[in-house]
Structures are given as C-alpha cells and as structure tokens.
Structure 1
C-alpha cells in the first residue's frame, strides 16, 4: 500500500481478510496494526484475529508492503540576468538554494549542471539544474538560467 501525501496510510480488515468465517457467528475480526507511516516503509507483518461469540479465536499473519511512491517537490530560484563584472568576461552570481519538501523525511539535494552559488559565471547563459531525491529514490528536478550580459565597451 502507498503512503499518502502526509506520509501515512491506514489499512482495514477488508484489505487483509479474504472471507473469514466461524460456525457460531463472528463477534470480531481485528488487525494487530492498521496505521503506518514513513518509518514503516518496507515489509510489515500484521496479525488478523477472528473471534466468535463463544470466545474461540484464530489468527493468521499477512505481510503488508508499505511503499513511498510520492515524488518530492522542488522549487528553483527565478532566472537571473546580470551584467559582467568590471574588466571581467564573467560575473560573480549568488543565488538561493532550491527549496525541497517530501512526504517522508530524508531528501537530499544535488546539483546536476551549472555552477555553484558565488561562482564566476561566464558571459552567456548557464543553466543550473538541481535534483532532489528522497529516501525511497523518488526524484524531482528544476532548472533556472543565469545570463551574464557583456555590458562593457571594448577598448582600443
């Protein structure tokens, strides 16, 4: 079963029970665990217990696979356009780190292309691409451009 956008999922008896019966009327059918979250990703064992009106009971176990298949989110800064630094064919540009979020903690941010904040960007356009990866290997990417205009007149 897949975790929701908040990192939680709930199962019911109907998700596990394939039609339990009792000779003397079923009083209750219960599960040992019904609520799961990000810490439960992977295989979890739950016990289904059926009890009849006479108090007789039986149980079985089932393996529930908890899956985080929700992609994280990422937001890049807006495109940046600047003039070159005086006497240089580049400009030192700083930018805010992309913002990330996920339904489960543990995402990591990596830069796939471009230059780091605070680097000297050459005249022209440099595309910076970032990818966020969560603990379940779900990913999301974003890009933004840094354009450096040559604003200096040449000298003779």
Structure 2
C-alpha cells in the first residue's frame, strides 16, 4: 500500500468521494491530526480549493473559467509554474497556432455543445464575484443570448 492509502469500505469510500477528499487529505487528518478514519472522511476540505500549483490556490470555479476561455488544464498548470498570477493564467487567450493550423479550443465548440443561457449567466455572475475581466468568448455568448452584463448579479463561489 502507498503511504496515503487506507483500507476503506465501499460506504466509507462513497462518503470520501462525496466530500471530494483526496487520499492525501485523509492521510493527513488521520496521521497528523489524530482523527479516526470515520472522522477524517466526514467533512469536505476547507476553503474549496481544488488544487495547489506552485503554492498558488486554484478553485474549481477558476478552472471552469479557464476551460470556458479555451485554456486546457495542462496549459493553466504550466502558466502557473512559469510564474503567472492565477487571474492572468485563466483569462489570457492562448496564442494562435502557426501556419494556419487549427488548435482545438473549448471556446470554439460545435453548435450542439454551446453553453446554455443559464450557464452563461452563471459564468458572468462568477466573473463579477471574482472581479475578473470578461473575456471575448464570454462577451460573444452574452451578445448571442441578448444579455445585459449590468443586469446580472454576482454569484459567489459555492452558491451555484
């Protein structure tokens, strides 16, 4: 067994999965905080951080926003390692590919994969709450749906 593995029943694993717990978090709680396995899996991680990259905290909402802007996880991760701040890493568009090559981007999805009006409203609300500048794909979708950016209320992280 690896250093972070614990034998868990199917029920315990389901609880840990529902609380979005990594094995490392469970191991820390049991070994360093002295909690029982049942106590360690009973509550989600604090702060809602999904990942830490190079000492910077990346939330699930920020990862979603990066994907919306056509920035895949690997690109986001390498930008942070290169010293970019999180806001720049999730909002700055990727460079176009040379010689007219097409790069598959999430922002250029086929018509049947477009975000719904409700999803666009939620994303704009999250961007407002995080005080992040609107990107071209977001503005394009808002225009397509006839949305007024001023009429959309901020959506705090965890409210959606």
- Which TM bucket (shorter chain)? under 0.3
Return the index of the structure with the highest Cα Rg.
1
Greater relative contact order (Cα < 8 A, sep 6+) = 1
Greater share of strand = 1
Greater share of helix = 2
TM-score by length of 2: 0.18
TM-score by length of 1: 0.19
